[in-house]
A = this chain, B = another copy of it.
Amino acid sequence: MIRSEPQYPISRIAEIFKVLGDQNRLHILSLISNQELCVCEITSIIGMSQSNASQHLAKLRSAGLVKERRSAQWIYYSLNQEALPLIKEVLKMLPDVSHELERLKTQPDRPKCDT
């Protein structure tokens, strides 16, 4: 039997899918699939508490799916290149959320992180 893709222990794959098995985390991945976003933008779009978003991001990060970059007081999250092939496959299945990113720019209580 020939397998072309990298193998991982079942424990690692289960860990990844467990992290992916949550609507909010899938939503976050969709949002940052095209552009990095800071936590306040993510919470603003999804409408979840800052603490909750932070904890979901921590799970995505510890599973190696996203990475963070600090700039001033903001921390920007983006997809981790190492997991990109997998994430791309997942994102293909998910509905487009670009309209949510558009709306972010025009909403009145828009976060100030990218002004």
Interface, chain A (partner B; CB < 8 A) = 1, 3-11, 13-23, 26-27, 30, 86, 89-90, 92-96, 98
Copies of this protein chain in the complex:
2
| Across-interface contacts of A16 in B (CB, < 8 A) | 21
CB distance from A3 to the nearest CB of B (A): 6
Instruction: Count chain B CB atoms within 10 A of each CB in A5, A18, A93 and give the residue with the most.
Output: A93
Please, which residues of chain B bring their CB within 8 A of the CB of A10? 23, 26-27, 30, 94-95
Contact of A5 with B98 in the complex, beta carbons under 8 Å = no
Alpha-carbon separation in the docked complex, A3 to B26 (Å): 17
Q: Which of B6, B14, B23, B92 contacts A5 (CB 8 A)?
A: B92
Partner of A1 from the list B11, B19, B86, B96 (CB cut-off 8 Å) is: B96
Other 20 A-B pairs with CB < 8 A, given A7-B93, A7-B94, A13-B93: A1-B96, A3-B92, A5-B92, A5-B93, A7-B95, A8-B93, A8-B95, A10-B23, A10-B27, A10-B30, A10-B94, A10-B95, A13-B26, A13-B94, A14-B20, A17-B17, A17-B20, A19-B21, A20-B20, A21-B21
